[in-house]
């Protein structure tokens, strides 16, 4: 009976891992879409399926959180972590959908570079999330989180350069609106990655 009453704490870590892996898969598909835009439709459909799968993981995590009296991390940290990882996948899917919906002719090099940063950030975040299972991994988790912060800074720089060139060279106002939205959506992905990294670093401070 006691075993039934006390939830298995690693259930949460398993769901974190699943959500983070969905983020990595989504990021790689976004990069693939920017580099192979002729295949945008099937790539976008696959990305949309991943987005639904990650939503399911987030919903199950929140349901378990609401039922659990004992959790391996603070309830607020679990709540923020799973929702922000889900946000990463949602925004990744949104960026791909915007390219298709706006009917762009071809992704720019700036969009490719932003997608590369998203992949790098998602991969490091997945490593950091998995490392949270054991305190012996905390130093490496902190290093992974620092790289996520570097990714966010790099994405900011790319966004700044992209918008500067866009406003200076593009004469079609509609194209400016389209690309500004795409670039900013892609950069927001790295903001959400940084949010998760901040939570992880806060957890480590609390438990040290």
pLDDT 10s digits, 48-106: 999 999 999 999 999 888 877 777 778 888 889 999 999 999 999 999 999 988 989 99
pTM given for the model: 0.91
**Cα-only R_g, the chain:** 18
pLDDT in tens, 134-144: 889 999 999 99
**What is the chain's mean pLDDT, rounded?**
91
According to the model, what pLDDT value does residue 4 have?
42
Asked, for residue 88, whether it belongs to a domain, the answer is: yes
Asked, for residue 78, whether it belongs to a domain, the answer is: yes
Q: What is the dihedral of CA 37, 43, 47, 50, to 10 degrees?
A: -160
Q: Does residue 20 surpass a pLDDT of 80?
A: yes
Q: Does residue 22 surpass a pLDDT of 80?
A: yes
Asked, for residue 23, whether it belongs to a domain, the answer is: yes
How many helices and strands, by DSSP H and E, does the chain display? 7, 0
**Residues whose CB is less than 8 angstroms from the CB of residue 21 and which lie 6 or more positions away in sequence, other chains included:** 126
Q: Does residue 5 surpass a pLDDT of 90?
A: no
Asked, for residue 1, whether it belongs to a domain, the answer is: no
**Residues whose CB is less than 8 angstroms from the CB of residue 142 and which lie 6 or more positions away in sequence, other chains included:** 201, 204
Confidence tier at 3 by pLDDT (50, 70, 90): very low
The two structure tokens encoding residue 182: 């795409």
The two structure tokens encoding residue 188: 């927001």
Asked, for residue 131, whether it belongs to a domain, the answer is: yes
According to the model, what pLDDT value does residue 73 have?
78
* Domain at 63, CATH number: 1.20.58.220
Asked, for residue 123, whether it belongs to a domain, the answer is: yes
Closest residue by Cα to residue 195 from 152, 131, 138 = 152
The two structure tokens encoding residue 42: 């099937």
Q: Is the dihedral of CA 29, 33, 36, 39 positive or negative?
A: positive
Check if the beta carbon of residue 184 is closer than 8 Å to that of residue 114.
no
Asked, for residue 190, whether it belongs to a domain, the answer is: yes
**What's the domain count of the chain?**
1
Q: Which domain holds residue 78?
A: 8-207
Asked, for residue 2, whether it belongs to a domain, the answer is: no
């Amino acid at each position: 009976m006691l075993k039934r009453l006390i939830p298995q704490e690693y259930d949460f870590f398993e769901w974190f891992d699943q959500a983070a892996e969905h983020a990595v898969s989504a990021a790689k598909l976004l990069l693939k879409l920017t580099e192979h835009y002729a295949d945008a439709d099937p790539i976008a459909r696959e990305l949309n399926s991943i987005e639904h799968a990650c939503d399911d993981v987030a919903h199950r995590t929140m349901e378990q959180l609401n039922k659990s009296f004992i959790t391996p991390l603070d309830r607020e940290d679990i709540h923020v972590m799973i929702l922000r990882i889900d946000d990463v996948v949602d925004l990744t899917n949104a960026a791909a959908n915007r390219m298709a919906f706006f009917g762009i002719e071809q992704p720019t090099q700036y969009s490719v570079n932003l997608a590369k940063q998203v992949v790098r950030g998602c991969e490091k975040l997945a490593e950091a999330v998995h490392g949270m299972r054991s305190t012996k991994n905390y130093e490496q988790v902190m290093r992974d989180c620092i790289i996520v912060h570097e990714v966010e800074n790099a994405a900011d720089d790319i966004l700044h350069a992209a918008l500067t060139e866009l406003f200076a060279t593009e004469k079609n106002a509609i194209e400016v609106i389209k690309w500004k939205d795409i670039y900013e959506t892609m950069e927001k992905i790295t903001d959400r990655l940084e949010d998760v990294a901040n939570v992880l670093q806060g957890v480590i401070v609390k438990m040290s």
